[in-house]
Amino acid sequence: MARKTLVTAALTLTGAMPLGVAAQPPSSPDSSWLYYEIGGGQAFTRAPNPVTTTLTLGAGADMSLGYSCGTFDPVASVSHQMNQLRDGVDQISNQMAQAANAAIAALPAYILQRANPGLYDLFQNAQLRAEETFQLATKTCEQMEAEIAQGKDPFHEWVVLSKGHSWRRAMGTNGVHGDGNIITTRDHIENNPGRDGVPWILDRSGGAGQEPIRPVRDVVRSGYNVTANRTPGDDGMPYNPNDPAVPPMGRYWATSTEAAEWAVQVLGEEEIPTCRDADCPPQQSSPGLGLTRLVEQDREDRLPDLVDLVEGTTSLSSANLAQVSAGGITVTPDLIRAIRELPPAEQGMAVGRLADEIATAAHVEKALYLRRFFLAGRMLPEVQAAGPAQKIIQEKVAELEREIDNTLFESRVRKELVSGTSQALLRFDAQRRGASLQVAPGARPDPWPLEGGAVSAP
């Protein structure tokens, strides 16, 4: 009956999460008081991985291409335009130009002007129009080249960004067909916007036959791996959360995929294509749950561990205490013993409140690690080169910080997460024990005690 009362009362509040022990627990009630007085064994959140190695992150082949609008051949481009005049009058002009190809090729321009002034004027007009078309295409290319060289993002959307990378590739490979023709390159890019995708963390993404761009999942996954001293795409062996040597982030997420999935749970995700054709990836989005929702979801699974410790169902071993400790704040045996001495109703209140604070500390620490993964992942060259990705990451980091603020409210200091409840419990237990040790005063002393067989005089 007592267990049912405790569990019922405790389940009205938020539960704890099983996490690794971050500091050696105190061994006596006196040291426990000091431990909670200073706010736990750590004053700040530890690095997600204390072992650091400097990694040089290289860009992919597409980003290493030398690019210049000078790689396009103006002769090939103008010749193409002369041979591709169409639509209305252009078709007539094209037929006339084709009919006179032999004469134009055989005669110098001044002889053609004297022999056939009309044909010469038609040729000159067509040449001027072709050169103008080449200049307009070159201007578009040069504008993008200048903005890319200045480190600016000349685009506002992913589709246009993909077109810019298509221009970049064309600059470095002598056009889309390898013929140096800027006009066919322009037409190809304009008629197939975004199908090439964009250079992304592991491969080109967003285009036809490619994976969609997943900013949250991809950046967090690569940031986790970089923090673990791996390459962005190397997941390595999963961490063992029970291994004492595992880095702190490995106690929360054994793999980068788990970290990325947790990030999507909190912040949501948008799968972004750069084209709209049937063979392009679909555009999808999923909303995030936020930190508070995830804390509430852990209630039924985590709270019974703390209840079992208080009721004595499980021993006060280091491993069992580690299951209810989190965020650098250790639940000590003295604290559990103090809760045991409370009446059943107060036990339920104390266990629920303590579980709330420990769960909050755990999720805040996870959110802080997630923030560091974002900051590490955004330094990858592919992410740096994608202006829209930088904007999304900034928004997600700001949203994550707001989630932390909303979860903590005004309790943003570690000392305020567990120390207040713990100190109150220990103080109440000390007062109760002190009161039970007090000896009631005896009878009033005899004013005339017996001394040496005689009553002493007053």
pLDDT tens for the chain, 458 residues long, are 455 445 444 444 333 333 333 344 555 555 566 556 655 544 345 556 655 454 444 444 444 444 444 444 444 444 444 444 444 445 544 555 555 555 445 545 556 556 656 655 555 555 545 444 444 444 455 555 555 545 454 334 555 555 555 555 555 555 555 555 556 656 665 666 667 778 888 888 888 888 998 999 999 999 999 999 888 888 888 888 878 788 889 889 999 999 999 999 999 998 888 888 888 888 888 888 888 888 777 767 778 899 999 999 999 988 888 888 886 678 889 999 988 988 887 788 788 878 878 888 888 899 999 999 999 999 888 888 777 888 889 999 999 999 888 877 655 555 555 566 777 777 777 777 777 766 566 665 666 766 766 666 65
Whole-number Å distance between alpha carbons of 246 and 154: 44
Q: Indicate the angle between helix axes 344-377 and 333-340, nearest 10 degrees.
A: 150
Q: How many residues are recorded in the chain? A: 458
Paired strand residues for 204: 199
Q: What is the dihedral of CA 409, 417, 40, 327, to 10 degrees?
A: -80
DSSP 193-242: TTTT-EE-SSSEESSTTSPPB-HHHHHHHHHHHHHTTS-TT---SPP-TT
Q: What is the pTM of this model?
A: 0.61
* Terminal-to-terminal C-alpha distance of the chain: 62
pLDDT at 226: 92
Amino acid, single-letter form, for residue 444: R
pLDDT at 426: 77
pLDDT at 73: 44
DSSP 331-347: PPHHHHHHHHTS-HHHH
Whole-number Å distance between alpha carbons of 136 and 142: 10
Query: Beta strands 204-205 and 198-199: pairing type?
Result: antiparallel
Eight-class DSSP state of 71: G
Paired strand residues for 271: 284
Q: Which residue has the tokens 């069992």?
A: 320
CB atoms within 10 A of CB 219: 28
pLDDT at 376: 92
Please name which of 150, 159, 153, 91 lies closest in space to residue 126, comparing C-alpha atoms.
91
pLDDT at 361: 84
What are 102's two structure tokens? 């032999």
Whole-number Å distance between alpha carbons of 342 and 262: 37
Residue 145 contacts residue 67 (beta carbons within 8 Å) = yes
Whole-number Å distance between alpha carbons of 206 and 283: 10
pLDDT at 14: 35
